[in-house]
Every structure is written in C-alpha cells, then in structure tokens.
C-alpha cells in the first residue's frame, strides 16, 4: 500500500478547485478518463491528500477547503456529485513579506506536508519567495506554478538541492491548450513542406487568472508569440491578438486559431480552429504530475530541480527571468 | 548539369494540370514556396519535362498539353501568368483493353519516356494494367496514382523488379489534407492524456475525382475511418460523414473536423477545424516527388518498389487489395 | 382557471420526449426560458395534459409514457431532475391499416382527447390517414407533424372543417434550425446589396428521424435547396450536401453553413457558421404552439385549417404533395 | 445624359482607394456585382468624378490620386487591371487649424466641387470643422465619415441648411460587417423565442484605421456593446472582446461571433460565426450612396441633414456626441 502524498496548497483559486475535485472524482469512480499518467512511479492520482491550505481573502480563511473552492470569484464548475468536507481549514496566508515572523509561522503550519503547491496569482515575487523559504524550513518540496521567478533563482535552487528538497517551476504549461494545438499544426505544415503565409491566435477567458493576465499587459502574449514564431521558423508571421477577458466564459478558455499557408503551386491552404477547454483543468492535469514527481523525488532524497518536470513547465531554471 | 526527367502522363485531369503548371511556375520564378523537397537527390522540381500525354476524350486528343489542362471538366485554377505551348500533343489513350495491339501502340509512343505517371480516374483496373504493361515494354518506370491495384499485383511487381524498372503505387496520400490534420490532432490528444469522446470529419469537394468518389460509394470513406480509428485507439469513436460533391467548390476541398474529448476532471475539450485546400495541389505536391524518386531509381537501375515512396502512398505493396 | 388541453400522442420518439419533459420542466420551475409563446390565447405551456399514447414497438406497449420516452433508440437527454409517472400507459398503435376495426378501436381509445398529435415517423401515409380518421370519429383535432400528406388532402380537410375540428399540417418547421439561420443570412446579404457567389449547407445528426431521412434519400435535401435558392434569387448558387447520420451526435443536430459573396469593388465576403441544436427541442418548441392553437380553435368550434399555424408548417394545405 | 457628380476627397486612405478603384472597375465593366444601389435617383455608381484631393503626408502631396491610393500604409488591394491617372493632383491639406488663411485657401481649391467627402482619420475634430467651414464657403455639400462630431454640431448644421447645402454625418455604418451579422442573428433568436445565454464578438483587422481604433481605446467597442445589448434586450449578455490589430490581415477584417442560447426545454443552442470582409469596401459601398444622395439634394437645393441617409450613419444629428 502506497503512502499518500501530503500536500499543502497556497492560494485556493480555480486551479486548486480543479485539483481537489478531480482527485475526489477519480478516487470515487476509479475512472482514468482524461488523465495523462494514471500512475506515476507507483503513485495514482488518488494518492494525494491535502493537509494544509492558505489564502488571504477574509471570507476564505477559517472555512473548509471543500467549501472555499466554490467561493467567488472562483468559477470552475462542480464536477463531482457532492464533495465531503476535507477536514482542512483554510489558514491565513502571508500578506506582509517584511514581517519575518510570518515565514516562521507558516513554516510551522506546513509541518507534515511533503509538497507545497504554490498556486497564488502571479505578480508577487516576494510572496512566492516567502513561501518557498517557509517550505524549505519545513522540509517540504516546493512547486511554483506562477510566472514569478522562484526555481529560476539559482541561490534558492542551490539551497533546495543541498537540503535534498525538490524545487519545481516556474509557470505551468497546460495539459492541453492553445499553444499545443497551434504548435502541432505549424509543425505539421512544416513537415509537409507548406510555406506559412500568416497565422493568428486569439485567446478569450473568464477566470480571475485570465483577468490578471489581461490587466498585467502583454508579457504572456509576447512569450507565446516568440514561441510560435520560432516554431515555424517564420519570425513575424505568427500574431497573437490581445487577450479578451469575457466573464461569461467562466472557467472556459476559447481560442480561435487561423493559419494561412501555401502548398504546391503556391496555392493557398487555410486552417481555422476553435478550441474550447476548461483552463483550470489544464493546470490541474499538470499539477497532479508535478506533485507526484516532487513527492517521489523527496522520498528518494533527490533535491533541487527535476529534469522530468521540464515538459510541464514554461520557464524552467536556465530560461530568462 | 542534371539531365531532366522525361515524363509521360496518362489522363490529363486536374492533378496533371497542377503538376504541369506548378513546374512551369517554379521554373520561371525560382521560388520554393510550398514545395516539400525543393531538391530530391539532385533533381529540382523544374527538372521534369513532359514528353507524352494520353487521354480518351475526343476534345482533348490532338491538342497541346498546355491547352488541354484547362478544358472542362478540369477546374484547377490558372496559377501562372501564361503557359507556353508544351510541344506535347495529347494522344489517344487505350480504350479497348481487349485489343492487344493497343498496348503495343502505346508502348511505341512511350519511347523515350523514363517515367509513366498514370493519373487517369480510379475504377478501371484493366486499363491501369494495360498501361503498366506498355510502360514495361517501353522500359519506363510506372507510377500508379489511382486506387486500382497495380503495384499490389505481386507478379507485375516482380516483372518490373527483374527488368530494373521502378513500379510505385498504389494511390496517393496528399501533401496536406484532412487525414493529416485529423491524425495530428488525435495524436496530440493522446500524448496529452485526453480521452476521446467522439470525432467526425466531413469532406466536400468539387472536382471530377471527387464526384467519382461520391458515386463509387464509400470505399475511401471506410478506409479513412479505419485509419483514424486505429490512430486514436478508439474504434468507433471517429466518424466520417458522406462525401459531399459541391461543384461550386471547383478544385477546392473543404473539410470540417470536430473532436470532443475529456481532460482532467473529465471536463470537456472541443476542437472544431475548417480546412480548405486545393485538392489537385496536394496530389501534384506528392507526384513531383514520386516522379523524381522513380527517375533516380531508374537511372540507378533499382527496379520494383521503392521503400522511400511509402509515406507518399496510401496502399503500397503488401496492403490489402 | 384554464382547463388543460387533453392531448393524445401517436409515436413516442424523441420529439414526444422533448415535449413531455419540457412541459414537466416548465410546470415545475415556472421558467419561460427558451419558450416562443409563454402564453398563447390564455394557454400556458404547462396547460397541456397527456391522456393517451400509441406506439408499435412491443417493448413500448404497456409501459408508462414517462418511461417509454427514454427507451432506445430515443436519445434525447433527460432534462428534468426526475420525471414522475404520467399515468398514461402506452397502447398498441395501428399496424394493419387494412383492418377497419383498428380505426374504430383507436377512435374509442381517443375518447376524451381534444388534440391528437401525430408524431410517428414519416413515410407511412396510410397509417397517418388511419389515425386522422380515428381522430375525426373521436371528435378530436389532428396535427400531422410528418411529411406525409394529410392536411394537404382536400377531402379530409373538408370533412374536418365541416365537423368543426381543426386539422393542422403537414410537416413541422423547427423553432430554430439550419434553414432559419441560412435564410436570415442570405436575406441580410441581399438587403445590403451583396452578390451571392456560392453557398453550402451540411447537416449532421444522430436521431432515428435523421437516419430515416438519410435512408429515404434526398427529398428533404432537395426541398431545402429549393427554398434557399429562391430566397437568394440565385438559383443554383446554394448547395445542400448529403445529410450525415452520425450516431455519436445523439439528439444534437450540427450544421455547417458557408456563404461566399461579393461586396463593393467585387471584393469577397466570407461567412462560416457552425450551428448546434437539439433537433427534438426544435420540434417540441413548435408542437407546443400547434397543440394550443388546435385546442383553442376546437373550443371555439373553428374547424379545418388555421391560418395562424402557417409559419409553423413546412407544407400547409395548398402546397405541392 | 446625367451630369457627373464632382467630388473632392479629404484624406487619401484605404476607404478612398476602395471608392476610386470601385468606380473605375464598375465604369469599365458595366457590372453591378456587389453594389447596393446600382442607380440612386438617376445617378449610377460610375457617375462620380474626382476633382480634388487633400492629404498631409509629404509623400502623397503633388502626386496623382491614382498613384497615391496605393502608397503605404494603405493596403487595400489593387482590384482593377490598371488604373489610369486621374488627372487630380493631391494637394496639401489643412494642418494648422489656427491659421485662418488655410480655410480660405482650401475653400478656393474646392471651387467646382459639389461634394466634399471628409475621409481623414477620426480624432481631429478641429480639422474636420475647418474643412466643413471651407466646404460651406465653397458652396459644396459635406460628408463626415469620421466619428468626430460635425453633423451633430447644431449650429453648423443650421448654417448648412440655410445655405441650401447638405451636411451628412457622422461616422459610417458598413455595407456589411460584424454588427449587421451579429444583429441579424440575435434578432432571429428573439423572434423564435430563444433565450440568450451569452454572446461575444472579436474583431481583428490590419488597416491604419483599425490601428487607430485600437490605440484610441475602446470607444467604438463600447458603442458596439451597447447597440448589441439593447438589440437582445439582454443587457450584459453580449460582450465585445478587445480589438486586435494584426497587420498581416491588411485590409481584411475578421470577426469571430459566438452566441449561446436556450431553446425549448432549456436545451442549448450554439452558433459560431467567422466573417471575413474587406473593411474599406464596406466603407466605400456606403460612401458611394452618401455622395449621390448629397449631390442630388444639392442640385435640388435641399440643405442640411437628409433623412434618407440615416441607415448609412452611425451617429446622425441628435445622437449623443
């Protein structure tokens, strides 16, 4: 009998809702539908227990994790019949990073956790660092799902490595999203000898994460653009339109992709794609693997970064901060 | 200076129009836009000359190849500014396969051709065999682009092999078409651990070839279905709707592809794709490679089937007739 | 307090499932979401009671209507939490139209019904007539939702008129379907002075009704074609592709519509539409109005055809049989 | 023989390119393809002559109008075989509105023009007023195609009315665009009793005008939103995503429209639309009517605003500035 992984989560948004509910769903049904790795080095997707959770909104603190995941602005759907209480009370997270006692307090509350999944909003690098510090003190592995540089901090990574603690990050790819589809199609064009004329991608979403991305400018857009342009060896031929925050979409993400190319005889080929996914499912489908990778490595005393995590991360150590 | 390949074509439909015009276009412009292999073992796409052509419609016989490719029901567009006369007069093809002297006549008219590209409509296996016989007598390589079994005839293949003449077939894949896109997306889903719920594909076209397919029933449809179902390891979950012959589309082929799947948490993922291509360009983009492969092998005295041609053929030797 | 309409249904397929469930849903919730006429001359959508039902499949006969609507091949979804038994036992319908006593038997079993909704599969005109005869004897209004000519039979219509009984038919439009959308867009083009270049429509579905249409050839397709072509005053420019029966779609109907046109300067305008509906909902959304129109007219002793039903019918009296 | 309308244009962008080329195209071919009103009160689309043109870019000034319409950043395609020189040399427009002599100079240069078509970029209301002043002095009708308030200036309108000169504006609708299609579909839903759940619209374009809209914020977006929301009597259910400036699209405008609704039984209906148009053609298709309306009114001495122009204008007199 495998020992379940003990996970603490920081931030109780849609992505944690998708993770908590998905684990409950699969545990109850025994289904493996939609799971990338039903078993990862001996750990099933149900072999994960939540032991602590941190949030900053007053209305979330003090309530059970199974309730908090459904509080607005969370809008990921209820995917299980009914979700029993988790027994995990959401605690007050770190709000004042200048207060050194806060890190100590959280480190104490992390006692017993093997993996800390940092799933707060992007854009607060100091907070991310404070939690990474607390996890290090508590002897837990740390996963940074935000775009803030944590695993890309060489000194922090070194301290984790020396402590025999895994440190995974930064930023998640999605189990299945716009980039994957766009890439696959551009690659196919290239293989078949088609010449790319132009291509665009429009992304629409309705989550808080999406709203943050829209408001924090086009960083993500630009990185997408670069990634796609290099893929097609056609710099400047792939364009990413501004993100559109459309609250009606709730946790759906909708992408419209267009590709115009030329085949034999310079005749035109057109591809139009509409993709609809639940954005938080894409994150949870990757987090479930990172959590199990981190737990396995921790139990094997492999500290620092883990190469097997690379395909699941957008900005692993070594990439530009 | 490379010696140009001398090609005879049987059937002067849209696919030959795309090949003839494309070669002229690329020769004139030096462009490599839309070409899969600009140079194949030393042969460029412009290194192909037409030396003979055969057709059966009275209005095609006796006229120059460069004119005949634009006669109805051909409806591939004019892609070059103006096309000079080719100097090749379209000859009367074989109509009575019971008349043994016909094969001799055509064999004589094939004198000098290195490669015979058989591009007549599918569905007349005896005619295909008669031309293959004539090409064998004339010492030329033979490419069967139709679905009729020619290269899959073990005895014929053996005779070609012993004569040191390449025999390539049967049936073409496309440079870029519905199957390629549908496959690529189903494969991506599988890689990412999504579970396929259902998928369909609708193909619409306006060429004579397309009309023949519609009228000759669902053979092609069924083979598509099998191919896709195996791909996704989800037999019965991929459906191919009846082909639609829509004359307005002319040489365009339009495909609508839908994929419904489940990701983490059994949440839904939907993909809708519209693909528009020029069908004859897809054939010509493959024929240009088969012709060069056949010519190179002929010049190197490699007879029979060529393994390098496998990715370009739907039904190579060894597959079911 | 309005007196509820007493309805007998013939045929217990998807369309009746949608009607029965929808009425229960709206009655329970008081919602008016998705209803075209919440109240029609005093009758709400909940003011309809089922008093008799007829079917021919042995597995349907003798069971409660509320159970039978979910038996395969019916595949309309369950849209209400739970549906109480209706108290209406499905009876054996007419199978032998040559047996005169059958009509008498059914007429007897229709006693008390105000409206007979004939919703059996199309293609059995004699059976439709037998039920119309039985309804006439029972003093009930008759609605023919099939394409078989019933209301278009002048003698039958005359008998209904003289008896003061409404006779509505033939064939239903849909509350919202491909034709409506295609028409609306072609009309808009015309209003704005665009010139239609070409247009196509592909319809895919997964119900038994859809399968019947596919197997019974292209009658419906041709009538769609005619309707659309006249709309656009561009005969031959609108094409309807073969219907595709795709069982995965269940009760969904999916349509792909393309419109190519020219605007000022003869520059191109393209419109691509994907429409997804539940086909039986479209029928039920119209049947609920026909039932109430028929009941109101019956109670007011207005017999024969009702002009107000015209927009809801494809082939009203006077159109070609 | 009708006397041709003498038109002066201010601003030589894509919209003027579409107008100038379209008139030449139709005059040469006699075609009426894509024209809303081939003849408007006796005036054909070819009955328009350009007699003056003004621009501010140094590279445009002093060259023939027929050349200037093709200078970057204009990117409307060449739709006529070859365009002869117009004989109209582009003059220096007003750049300093504080310089009173400028208005006098331009008024002098407008001598002989019957209609001044103001087609400069939006966002410079003082410049628009200066030209309107010049036109008034020159005795010409004035059409303001920009969003800047000109016809909505009651005093100016009054002066035009008293002078017997037409003043048309402000802002153009399009011959055929996103709003028209979105409206038509929402209206159809309403007619059929469907309940709108949510709807979005994404607009992408590649012209300078489009870039200006993107950079000048969401004014246009908001007005679209309001228009659509009122249409559907569902405030807040229709969302317009941020405009996307994608230079690759050149003068194409692409819109993605999604509509989610509920039909009978609260079952879902989905509509996805992709619309592709040439934006400047949409403007020219309306400008050709405004020019002819203005000329006819001028010749009939009907001054001020013309009611018949209302459907062609977004912000006619009386609407909010």
B20 phi/psi in degrees, rounded to 5: -60, -50
Residue from D267, D281, D283 to probe the interface with C (highest C Cβ count within 10 Å)? D267
CA nearest neighbour of C26 among C14, C13, C11, C36: C36
Q: Which residues of D touch A243 (CB under 8 A)?
A: 242
pLDDT score of D292 more than 80: yes
**Residue D123 within a domain:** yes
Mean pLDDT per 10-residue run, chain A (321 residues)? Answer: 94 98 97 97 97 97 98 97 94 92 96 97 95 98 97 98 97 96 97 97 95 74 54 72 94 98 98 98 98 98 97 93 80
Q: What is the pLDDT of residue B1?
A: 72
Touching C: B residues 109-128, CB under 8 Å? none
B198 touches chain C (CB under 8 A): yes
With helix as H, strand as E and coil as C, how does A8-49 read?
EEECCCHHHHHHHHHHHHHHHHCCCCCCCCCEECCEECCCEE
Taking CA atoms, D188 is separated from A232, C36, C176, D232, D312, in Å, by: 42, 12, 9, 10, 22
* Torsion on CA atoms B80, B81, B87, B92, rounded to nearest 10: 60
**Residue D318 within a domain:** no
Assess whether C158 and C299 both reside in one domain.
Answer: yes
Q: What is the pLDDT of residue B181?
A: 98
- % of residues, chain D, pLDDT over 70: 94
Q: What is the pLDDT of residues D55-97, one digit of tens each?
A: 999 999 999 999 999 999 999 999 998 899 999 999 999 999 8
Residue D181, preceding bond cis, omega within 30 degrees?
A: no
**Residue B137 within a domain:** yes
Q: Which residues of D touch A237 (CB under 8 A)?
A: 248
Q: What is the pLDDT of residue A321?
A: 80
Interface size C-D, in CB pairs within 8 Å, comes to: 173
pLDDT score of D217 more than 80: no
C198 touches chain B (CB under 8 A): yes
Nearest-CA distance C178 → chain B (Å):
16
Assess whether A155 and A255 both reside in one domain.
Answer: no
D273 touches chain C (CB under 8 A): yes
Assess whether D229 and D247 both reside in one domain.
Answer: yes
Assess whether B206 and B163 both reside in one domain.
Answer: no
Q: Where are the alpha helices (DSSP H) in chain D?
A: 14-29, 65-68, 100-109, 125-138, 154-162, 178-191, 208-215, 219-231, 279-299
Q: Where residue A208 sits, what CATH number does that domain have?
A: 3.30.360.10
Given the structure tokens 């709203």, which residue do they identify?
A: A211
Number of domains in chain C: 2
Assess whether C54 and C130 both reside in one domain.
Answer: yes
C226 touches chain B (CB under 8 A): no
Asked if B175 lies within 8 A of A194 by C-beta distance, the reply is yes
Residues of chain C with pLDDT under 50: none
Task: Average the pLDDT over D276-302 and give the result.
Answer: 98
**Residue C317 within a domain:** no
**Residue B320 within a domain:** no
A25: nearest CB among B187, B266, B277? B266
Assess whether B155 and B296 both reside in one domain.
Answer: yes
Looking at residue C2, the DSSP 8-state letter turns out to be P
Q: What is the pLDDT of residues C205-235, one digit of tens each?
A: 999 999 988 887 655 555 555 556 555 555 6
Any chains having at least 3 CB pairs less than 8 A from chain C are: B, D
**Residue A320 within a domain:** no
**C-alpha to C-alpha distance for D321 and D315, rounded to whole angstroms:** 8
- Provide the pLDDT confidence category of residue D228 given band limits of 50, 70 and 90: low
A192: nearest CB among B175, B270, B272? B175
Domain that residue D151 falls in: 5-173+281-312
Assess whether A9 and A157 both reside in one domain.
Answer: yes
Q: What is the pLDDT of residue D61?
A: 98
Mean pLDDT of chain D: 94
Q: Decide: D302 and C282 in contact? Cβ < 8 Å.
A: no
**C-alpha to C-alpha distance for B201 and B187, rounded to whole angstroms:** 16
Q: Which residues of B touch A272 (CB under 8 A)?
A: 273-274
- Provide the pLDDT confidence category of residue D290 given band limits of 50, 70 and 90: very high
pLDDT score of B230 more than 60: no
Nearest-CA distance D122 → chain C (Å):
22
Q: Decide: C165 and C115 in contact? Cβ < 8 Å.
A: no
Assess whether C117 and C231 both reside in one domain.
Answer: no
D240: helix, strand or coil: strand
D241: nearest CB among A204, A237, A272? A204
**Residue A317 within a domain:** no
Assess whether D17 and D105 both reside in one domain.
Answer: yes
Mean pLDDT of chain B: 94
Assess whether A34 and A167 both reside in one domain.
Answer: yes
D164 touches chain C (CB under 8 A): no
Q: Which two tokens stand for residue A98?
A: 């200048």
Assess whether D305 and D157 both reside in one domain.
Answer: yes
**C-alpha to C-alpha distance for A88 and D228, rounded to whole angstroms:** 46
Q: Where residue C302 sits, what CATH number does that domain have?
A: 3.40.50.720
Q: What is the pLDDT of residues C27-79, one digit of tens each?
A: 999 999 999 999 999 999 999 999 999 999 999 999 999 999 999 999 999 99
Assess whether B21 and B152 both reside in one domain.
Answer: yes
**Residue B91 within a domain:** yes
C200 touches chain B (CB under 8 A): yes
């Amino acid at each position: 009998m495998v020992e379940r992984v003990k996970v603490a989560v920081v931030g109780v948004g849609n992505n944690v809702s998708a993770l908590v509910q998905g684990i409950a769903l699969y545990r109850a049904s025994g289904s493996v539908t939609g799971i990338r790795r039903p078993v990862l080095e001996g750990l099933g997707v149900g072999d994960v227990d939540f032991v602590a959770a941190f949030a900053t909104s007053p209305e979330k603190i003090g309530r059970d994790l199974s309730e908090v995941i459904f509080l607005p602005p969370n809008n990921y759907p209820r995917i299980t019949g009914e979700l029993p209480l988790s027994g995990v009370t959401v605690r007050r997270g770190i709000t004042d990073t200048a207060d050194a006692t806060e890190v100590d307090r959280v480190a104490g509350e992390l006692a017993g956790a093997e993996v800390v999944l940092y799933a707060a909003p992007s854009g607060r690098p100091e907070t991310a660092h404070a939690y990474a510090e607390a996890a290090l003190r508590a002897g837990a592995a740390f996963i940074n799902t935000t775009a803030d540089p944590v695993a890309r901090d060489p000194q922090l990574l070194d301290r984790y490595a020396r402590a025999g603690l895994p440190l995974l990050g930064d930023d998640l790819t999605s189990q299945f999203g716009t980039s994957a589809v766009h890439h696959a199609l551009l690659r196919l064009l290239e293989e078949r000898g088609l010449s790319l004329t132009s291509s665009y991608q429009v992304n629409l979403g309705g989550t808080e994460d999406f709203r943050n991305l829209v408001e924090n400018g086009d960083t993500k857009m630009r990185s997408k653009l670069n990634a796609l342009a290099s893929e097609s060896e056609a710099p400047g031929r792939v364009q990413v339109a501004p993100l559109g925050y459309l609250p009606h979409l709730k946790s759906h993400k909708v992408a419209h992709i267009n590709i115009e190319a030329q085949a034999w005889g310079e005749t035109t080929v057109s591809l139009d794609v509409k993709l609809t996914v639940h954005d938080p499912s894409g994150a949870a489908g990757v987090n479930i693997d990172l959590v199990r990778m981190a737990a396995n490595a921790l139990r094997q005393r492999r500290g620092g970064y883990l190469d097997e995590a690379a395909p699941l991360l957008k900005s692993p150590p070594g990439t530009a901060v």
